[in-house]
Amino acid sequence: QLARNQYERMGSDVTMQCGSLDNDASVSWKVNGTDVKAQHHLEGPRLILTQVDLGHNGLYSCFQNPNGERRDTINLRIGISPREPIVSCRSNTYPKGFYCSWHQQHSTYIPTTFEVDVQHNQRSLEVLKDSIHKNRCHVRFPEVFSIFPYKVNVTAISALGKASSTISFEESSIVKPDPPERVTATPIRYNARRLEVSWQSPATWPDIDNFPLKYFLRYRPLIKEQWQHVELSESTSHTITDAYAGKEYIIQVAAKDTEIGTWSDWSVAVHATPWIEEPVQTTSTTDTKTSPIPSSNAPHKAEPPVGRAAKLLSFFSPLLLVMLLLIM
């Protein structure tokens, strides 16, 4: 027998009816296969729980006495009524269209669905649910540079009630590109204070030629907290010329439509260090085949006399030679 769902408000007293049994029927109840231990009382085929909370969730089964035949199964789900959802809309694909997102301020704890209605110039626009984000939808602009505002209504619906929120906006107020992509920072050879920064426009921006973007660059050395800023026209590159030599930098870029809308979020940060001159490697001209220094235990070879001893030997050598000749 398939269980039937029963949704009840948190804090309320809950009555569960065992099928279609008469008021004088005698039944017993189990929850998730065990006896009901929560505060309760029985009235014939009915189980009454008082001041329920999330701990009362479960699969309740009732059995008719005295043979114990199961007569009903109820999946009890405790929740709260939906509240007005928080709604926001943004165009990151201008001028193709925009998307709207919404979320509940607090969980309802039970299944909740959402209905979305978008009105423009007294007519409803087609709303496409997002295939990935369950709380997001997409709408195409029916025209560009419209003077009529858009009105978006989102209604949260559950078994315990429903609640709606409505926002209105001008086309130009929701334009916000995605951050620039593929940001790189490259040191410039032989220049210790420059970094060449380049990036690409966001891939989601569909018509960069007719709807160009301008950019905002910020950078700082890691040793400092204060950013330096540069606002650029439509260029996708910039040369930093005042970097501290040898210091690592953190760099980010944001984008904005040149005419309308707001700045994107910052791009993914990149790190770079200006060019550092490498020390010159010098080679020695000394003969590499020099004799090793002898150890103190090694035998010493006879060294030629030097200094005063050499002069005395050179003076007496001829005299000794004459004396030997006379004796002979």
What is the distance between the alpha carbons of residues 137 and 133, in angstroms, rounded to a whole number?
A: 8
Q: What is the DSSP string of 274-288?
A: ---PPPPPP---S-T
Ramachandran region, residue 23 (left: φ > 0; alpha: ψ -120 to 50; beta: rest)? alpha
* Residue at 257: amino acid letter: D
**Tens digit of pLDDT at every position of the chain (328 positions):** 689 999 999 999 999 999 999 998 999 999 999 999 888 999 999 999 999 999 999 999 999 988 889 999 999 999 999 999 999 999 999 999 999 999 998 999 999 999 999 999 999 999 999 999 999 999 999 998 999 999 999 999 999 999 999 999 999 999 999 999 999 999 999 999 999 999 999 999 999 999 999 999 999 999 999 999 999 999 999 999 999 999 999 999 999 999 999 999 999 999 999 999 776 565 544 443 333 333 333 333 333 344 433 443 444 455 444 444 555 4
What is the distance between the alpha carbons of residues 91 and 103, in angstroms, rounded to a whole number?
A: 18
Predicted TM-score (pTM) of the model is 0.74
DSSP 166: E
CB hemisphere CA count around 281 (13 angstroms): 0
Q: What is the DSSP string of 208-227?
A: TTTS-EEEEEEEEETT----
Could you tell me the domains of the chain?
4-79 (2.60.40.10), 86-174 (2.60.40.10), 181-272 (2.60.40.10)
DSSP 55: G
Ramachandran region, residue 122 (left: φ > 0; alpha: ψ -120 to 50; beta: rest)? left
What is the distance between the alpha carbons of residues 57 and 227, in angstroms, rounded to a whole number?
A: 53
Q: Give residue for tokens 């939808």.
A: 137
